[in-house]
Structure 1
């Protein structure tokens, strides 16, 4: 009558893992804790010993749940990242971002693909997929290096560059994931395949993503703030519109065969340009961030729980690839790509080093695994899990201090006034004063 239900055990263990991960760091630090690595370790410690649990959530056998949850997490993170950016910066401030996207990311993909092919014995498709999967930096786990929430400021060029890079490179890595899948399906690379990839996956889908996101962001701005002018949705104060908006941008763009990840970021960025001083932007951002954090915690706990299934496939060469990406490849290609920018040497080094890896990589691998049979799939998951764990430890424990030091700024979390306290930034109409 009082037998243990495995589903209830799962929920209880999930709750314990998340609470402990956010609670323990507060005994040793007064800062907002870097919990990502602890969530992975808590997932391992909590679930690895429950009979049958690692196999039940094994990503190779059941990639679709991983794909769906990580997809939702990434699009919410990208939309929220777009909403974070207060200033419409000029060409000079965007140039470092462009260099990281156009120069550093392709070089990173090539370097990791070469390592996977030469030292790990992967196929060409496997190495290419590994490079594309690990290439994007993460908009979800990189909060300590990003600009502040709407109206909070803190938009130092270092933070601005890391934020805009994370907002765009998740979508820009997709063409290379598609190329890896196409090579795996075709059994090799040909001129015809390359031409089709350039026209469809690289040019059309990127353009469709940018235009779709801009169109939906503009439309959302009108619906939220102007139509009807005397009773706009922004008066409701409901942040759930952020969820509806990102679903609309992502869904419509994907229907048009564009990149929904690009559309999600561009939609948030474009919406932020409407009624820029209105406090409703903060509510939209905070709602999307809350959903993003909840989904992130579930994914990282699940990744830790799956470690017992993955570690038999993990070798020293996989460790070399993960460590090389975090400590050598990304810092080196980032440093080279930023040559000639206005960054001082310390700023340039920070931007080059803090390319946080995370949920985007989980999504891309789950997506590839659900669309094609991969020869090296267990090995790919083992490398991804190790790299994310390494990144969350190394970057998570040092990013806040390092970026604050080089920018001479203290980045805080959300600074909404306490419940019941007056909001100095808001007038009765709901708009921020112009002064």
Structure 2
């Protein structure tokens, strides 16, 4: 009877997930908030008695469900970005300067900030503190959709697209890349818990886990995307040119193939999937096929996100936060309100690409979510960090706080930002583009 009731509840929850985006479009609420609350209600119902609800009670299921959710989200994010990135066009790398600053400055500062706060300030073990920093530092490609680009835009090849909304581009590109780039620090925490002092593994970690696996993951992603794009759009046989038939499952196949190859050869699969999506997007930028693939990925992501958020809420209603203490509250409040915003503001010092409003928004919207659950599940399946219930409670509290704060503030903040787009505080980059376009038109 219990399983039958859950079929009914999951069906109703899926129906709610379908209509929530439209219902909440103009309200300061996001679907993740409602879905987590539904999960909490499920968790306190009598039918939940005896059902293992905590992530630590089914670690492998938690790891693989969140893994697939992030992978699908990364493909969707990569397909949605209109701004090109090419090794043959060095100029294109400068247009991604916001992403590089967030990845190269803000993310390491966030990891260090959380790790030092936990270890030095709160007395958490060094391995557990570093794991918290690595798990909570990356922004989430799953739950940050309200502040990201909406989807692929099909325009003329010689026309710059997605250039004016630097905020959404910065948050989208960051979420796509930092899931792979946070992995070296997760491994560092695992090595610290299993091997011991940094002197025993630091050199190999630096050369292989921090550099080698990143390069391999990116290379596999670019190569996979190039091959799949070439076959899909310009294959020698009609049966191979799936873009002509509009077969959307190519996106899912690309996720599994690029991730599988990268992991088999030792690279970071998350990074490979995102690079694959970017490369496929660049293969034939004006094709409607990108919208088709993005549509099916978006629906699959919504379904997987529904399950993850329901399970999170279910766990919250069944004691996930029982081990939470004042240290957990300090870490959760610290990463959401202090460490991430401050790290982001530091990252944009000296750049004219964003005005002060845009810098503030980008720095503040570091959404924590499904990726944090995956990293914690992966690491705790590999090593014993001690205080596992506390770690899960702290991450659960941080995600819940992020879902509430960012979910409620996303719509009004982005509307506020959009209302000032034509104001005097536009970025130097925007003003430069406008002057250049004006000169070109008058010439």
- 1:209 aligns with one of 199, 203, 217: 217
Counterpart secondary structure, 1:199: helix
Partner of 1:373: 384
SS across alignment from 1:272: helix
Deviation at 1:192, TM superposition (A): 3.1
1:119 touches 1:317 (CA, 8 Å); kept in 2? no
Aligned residues of 1:113 and 1:130 also touching (Cα < 8 A): yes
Task: Give the match for residue 416 of structure 2.
Answer: 405
Q: Deviations over 1:273-311 (max 9, x none)?
A: 011101001011111111111101100100111122222
Q: CA deviation at 1:50?
A: 3.3
Q: 2:134 aligns with which of 115, 132, 135?
A: 132
Match of 2:370 among 359, 377, 384: 359
Confirm or deny that 1:86 pairs with 2:74. Answer: no
Q: Distance in 1 between matches of 2:199 and 2:3?
A: 51
The answer to whether structure 1 residue 235 and structure 2 residue 237 are counterparts is no
Per-residue CA deviations over 1:144-177 (Å, capped at 9, x if unaligned) read 1111211166551111111110000010000000
Contact 2:17 2:306 in 1 (8 A): no
Match of 2:359 among 348, 351, 376: 348
Which residues in structure 2 correspond to 1:1-400 (within 5 Å)? 4=1, 6-20=2-16, 30=26, 34-53=30-49, 55-88=51-84, 90-151=92-153, 154-155=162-163, 156-186=165-195, 188-228=196-236, 230=238, 232-307=241-316, 308-342=318-352, 343-400=354-411
Work out the CA distance in 2 between the residues paired with 1:53 and 1:79: 37
The alpha carbon displacement at 1:91 in A equals 3.3
Q: Distance in 2 between matches of 1:211 and 1:182?
A: 26
Deviation (angstroms), 1:245? 0.7
Partner SS, residue 325 of structure 1: helix
Secondary structure in 2 matching 1:228? coil
User: Matched residues in 1 for 2:22 and 2:243: separation?
Assistant: 36
Pair 354,260 (structure 1): closer, same or farther in 2 beyond 3 Å = same
CA contact (8 A) 1:122 1:376 kept: no
Q: Per the alignment, do residues 53 and 251 of structure 1 end up closer, same or farther by CA in structure 2, a change over 3 Å counting?
A: farther
User: d(CA) in 2 for partners of 1:409 and 1:347?
Assistant: 10
Aligned partners of 2:24 and 2:30 also within 8 Å: no
The aligned length equals 405
Q: Which runs of 5+ in 1 are unaligned?
A: 411-435
**Residue 49 and residue 264 in structure 1: after superposition, are their counterparts in 2 closer, same or farther (change >3 A)?**
same
**TM-score where L is the length of structure 2:** 0.87
Q: How far off its partner does 1:70 sit?
A: 0.5
Q: For residues 28 and 283 of structure 1, do their structure 2 counterparts lie closer, same or farther at Cα, with a shift above 3 Å needed? A: closer
Structure 2 residue runs of 5 or longer lacking an equivalent are 86-91, 155-160, 422-443
